[in-house]
């Protein structure tokens, strides 16, 4: 994959992803996120692997796994490596101050949360357009649900105040996650209490996981037009 990109924002994300990849050290177990920012990070790790750095990785999506394999990066599972040293991933929104996140517009939120929960350090890489004062201000909350009875699940989510859009793929078919589930994009608007909403969503039968990542972020690397910023939770 070429690192040349004419999109200024993509170039900023690439620089932030490289900064995060530089945190990986010899012998680490690394969580590989999903999405465009994570693709830059995996590319950089592939370059360092070619130079002799050795580590092992657990990917959060089949696409990330395929990219890692193309570089020869060693992939492992939780069966042999239950603890991850560092997980590097992107986000769709980052709440200033708390560093709570919305993730999942790429469709890998369930696996991403499993990997983040098993990690000693969870580093998020974004450009400054992803920073918000309140989660939900710009994007919906993706909710991964079981296909069986999904309309019943959707009605329960609507009762919590969500305006729901069923996720479709680029061909116009129902989007299916790597785990064989559906995603309902739940539009709440700006969320006053994201931790409370996460707890409410988790109680809905049929919900497998949500894209609200509460209290999990160790550090956020933000790409701006004037350079990189590092944020930690207040």
Q: 212 and 141 in contact (C-beta within 8 Å)?
A: yes
Tell me the sheet residues that pair with 219: 123
Instruction: Give the residue numbers annotated as catalytic, written as ranges.
Output: 112
Rounded Cα distance between 111 and 169, Å, is: 19
Instruction: Tokens for 5, please give them.
Output: 């990109």
Q: Where are the beta strands (DSSP E) in 15-171?
A: 29-32, 56-59, 74-75, 84-89, 93-95, 101-102, 119-127, 131-132, 141-145, 163-166
* Residue 146, CB-side half-sphere exposure with 13 Å CA sphere: 9
* DSSP for residue 168: B
CA of residue 55 relative to chain centroid, distance: 21
Rounded Cα distance between 40 and 35, Å, is: 9
Which strand (E) or helix (H) includes residue 108? none
DSSP-assigned states of every residue in 71-91: TTPEE--TTT---EEEEEE--
Strands 212-213, 207-210: parallel, antiparallel or unpaired by DSSP? Answer: unpaired
* DSSP for residue 15: H
């Amino acid at each position: 994959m070429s690192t040349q990109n004419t999109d200024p924002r993509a170039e900023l994300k690439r620089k932030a992803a490289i900064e995060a990849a530089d945190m990986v050290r010899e012998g680490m177990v690394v969580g590989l996120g999903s999405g465009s920012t994570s693709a830059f990070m995996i590319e950089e790790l592939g370059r360092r692997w070619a130079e002799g750095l050795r580590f092992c990785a657990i990917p959060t999506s089949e696409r990330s796994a395929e990219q890692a394999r193309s570089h020869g990066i060693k992939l492992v599972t939780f069966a042999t490596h239950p603890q991850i040293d560092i997980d590097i991933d992107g986000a769709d929104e980052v709440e200033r101050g708390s560093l709570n996140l919305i993730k999942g517009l790429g469709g890998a939120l369930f696996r991403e949360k499993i990997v983040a929960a098993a990690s000693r350090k969870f580093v998020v890489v974004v450009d400054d357009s992803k920073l918000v004062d309140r989660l939900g201000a710009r994007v919906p909350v993706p909710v991964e649900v079981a296909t069986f009875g999904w309309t019943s699940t959707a009605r329960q989510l609507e009762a919590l105040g969500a305006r729901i859009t069923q996720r479709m793929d680029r061909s116009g078919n129902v989007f299916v996650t790597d785990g064989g589930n559906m995603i309902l994009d739940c539009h709440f608007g700006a969320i006053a209490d994201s931790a409370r909403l996460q707890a409410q969503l988790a109680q809905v039968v049929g919900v497998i996981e949500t894209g609200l990542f509460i209290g999990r972020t160790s550090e956020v690397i933000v790409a701006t037009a004037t350079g990189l910023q590092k944020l930690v939770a207040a």
